[in-house]
Structure 1
């Protein structure tokens, strides 16, 4: 149990309310600050006090939270959203509240800093460097060879990840991308060696520096490295599971993670697991629901049970042998018709199926999670059957498009 129990928590941002509900169920007082666009009627039902911002700025959010603490004291700032994690950590440090250290959260959110912190530590190493110019990129490939992966230093949601296979690809990409020296809006990039193998994420809950493995999720991506499916449990051997678990624990310990949910992404290479990235938050894409259905752990419940001073190892009987989610990736164009949700949702084992596309929408190339157009979640006796049912449900969803004229096509640069 946590030695200093939390009685009230400040939530920083986030449109979803499952974590707020878990906090209320644990008997905590709930305070909230974030952009007004995130606030829903359900938020209003759950919070005891709130300060809404016209738009989110970490600097402003920290100042607001410090002022709010003097009026409505809270014991911890918490967020489960990538855009808000850094601000929550800064609030905790500013007010001296016990939580994962700011440096830990910073190194998790900043892919370049994460590699730097882990450099020289005996966990699976990945050649990586921050690049701020095409010359930096060329120097890295000269030293490490091709292929390589280039991604934003502070990226999320699988956005803007590029595979560079050869010198021609490097030259073409370098001409399209914005680098810090190239003008307004440019941001640093991170280049890493390309890891060959299947990808997984390890879902964890940490308590007093001990990392409990809740589940291993098998992940599926498209050619642009955007996640298009997940299944729990992963189809791996016990030896592979043990190796992934050991690597995850080593990474979290090395980065200084003390408590709360974790989501660590790894590639299982021929030489063993290698870290892609990790997060001090639950996995997205309904992974929380997959873990609850197939492993019996309610990640939000565990988080706030631990924070409120109760045991963290809360578990329930799994609902099914496996659970899977699959995403619809429609063709590029302008949407002319949609349908099939009722048929998809009626499939065997399907828990949910829905579309986000609407008539009139313009569908771009799928280069990030926001570009997916629907999803279906299903359960089964095993991973294969759960995946099959989720993919079958996606096959019943209908998104019809008409090609765009060149002038109307979205810019992919």
Structure 2
């Protein structure tokens, strides 16, 4: 909203009260709060609002509402990324179907609608394979399956109900792609896709993202096919305008697409790109929407930028500290510590299970990454492991508290 305001646009806010801050109120000329933000209700409210106070475009930066906003724009006849394109991006199984017959590198996949589909995956795809929700976000519910026994376990654990009427299948299975993982940040204008940055990604063994680095430590020979593959993907999906965030694996067969999003990258990737590439994705988005000419000349503020996340083992947080020390460390642009005394740390299963982060810059990628990791190591958080996985830990049965610094877990790049 700050970027939209700076571009001279008039802003209306439509959404829940919980997400509305005082700054939102200051920036928005119109505010319409909804107790129910289900897709149908949001579309109905937007159409009604347009009837009394017309707007030129509905915009969101949140995965949850990308398809809803596309429906609003289609229903009102507003120029925007087509609903079919947004649906293909939002529904990972539908995206694979759309890409059949395209020039985009092939990834073997299968839709999983029921337990019977799941149990037959070994014959269809072989092992190992990846199983994930078709509309999942935040690295949630990603399963690495090595053998049929695990499929039988999952058959009794997973929910096969369809999460939305526009979802092709609740689960998607894909061949496991081996190689380093990156995301490619782009901005499209009239179907021409501009590469803003390639981000190097770091994940735990269960695929939760714990770090990002811009620029990625790759050669020009590696970057060229990555950029070409992403451009082919966005063209095949019909992306015409605006930001996109595409995740790929550089395999020995070349780059292979994991998924893409018609929005900027999360996890502060927008800030990493702004610092290390000189492109403010939010500013580009709303400058484009306002009809002003785009300046795609890179003007980096730093040679490299990295973010590293604090992850903790399960248990109750008994003390926290080190935030000021982390913020004062060399090269640190920002540091956050969300863990608080009394918090129960859950198992690390998604992006929402992380407890803080540090963003740092450096004269080269290695330095930026090292500074971010070292500054996260300055956080001091004590965790009582005896309360792990207990919603209400019983008094008088606490084990010795454990003090944790980073690195806490061995990480792998997949």
TM-score (norm 2): 0.91
CA–CA separation in structure 1 for the residues paired with 2:261 and 2:140: 16
**Match of 2:200?**
218
CA displacement, residues 279-298 of structure 1 (integer Å, 9 cap, x when unaligned): 00000000000000000001
CA–CA separation in structure 2 for the residues paired with 1:142 and 1:298: 46
Unmatched runs of 5 consecutive residues or more in structure 1: 1-19, 182-186
**Match of 2:14?**
33
Deviation at 1:404, TM superposition (A): 3.8
Unmatched runs of 5 consecutive residues or more in structure 2: 163-168, 393-414
Deviation at 1:357, TM superposition (A): 1.0
Q: 1:303-382 maps to which residues of 2 (within 5 A)?
A: 303-315=285-297, 317-382=299-364
CA–CA separation in structure 2 for the residues paired with 1:261 and 1:93: 19
CA–CA separation in structure 1 for the residues paired with 2:71 and 2:159: 29
CA–CA separation in structure 2 for the residues paired with 1:174 and 1:243: 38
Query: Is the 2:335–2:357 contact (alpha carbons within 8 Å) kept by the matching residues of 1?
Result: yes
1:239 counterpart (206, 215, 221): 221
1:263 is paired with a residue whose SS is: strand
The 1:407–1:274 alpha-carbon spacing in structure 2 relative to 1, beyond 3 Å, is: closer
**Match of 1:120?**
101
CA–CA separation in structure 1 for the residues paired with 2:110 and 2:124: 11
CA–CA separation in structure 2 for the residues paired with 1:408 and 1:172: 24
Query: Is the 1:303–1:312 contact (alpha carbons within 8 Å) kept by the matching residues of 2?
Result: no
CA–CA separation in structure 1 for the residues paired with 2:323 and 2:298: 31
CA–CA separation in structure 1 for the residues paired with 2:277 and 2:388: 48
The 1:95–1:341 alpha-carbon spacing in structure 2 relative to 1, beyond 3 Å, is: same
Query: Is the 1:331–1:363 contact (alpha carbons within 8 Å) kept by the matching residues of 2?
Result: yes
Q: 1:283-294 maps to which residues of 2 (within 5 A)?
A: 283-294=265-276
1:79 is paired with a residue whose SS is: coil
TM-score (norm 1): 0.91
Query: Is the 1:80–1:282 contact (alpha carbons within 8 Å) kept by the matching residues of 2?
Result: yes
**Match of 2:408?**
none
Q: Comparing 309-318 with 75-84, which one deviates more in the overlay?
A: 309-318
CA–CA separation in structure 2 for the residues paired with 1:399 and 1:107: 42
Q: How many residues align?
A: 386
Deviation at 1:316, TM superposition (A): 5.4
Deviation at 1:49, TM superposition (A): 0.4
Aligned CA RMSD, in angstroms, stands at 1.4
Deviation at 1:193, TM superposition (A): 0.6
Matched, 1:106 2:82: no
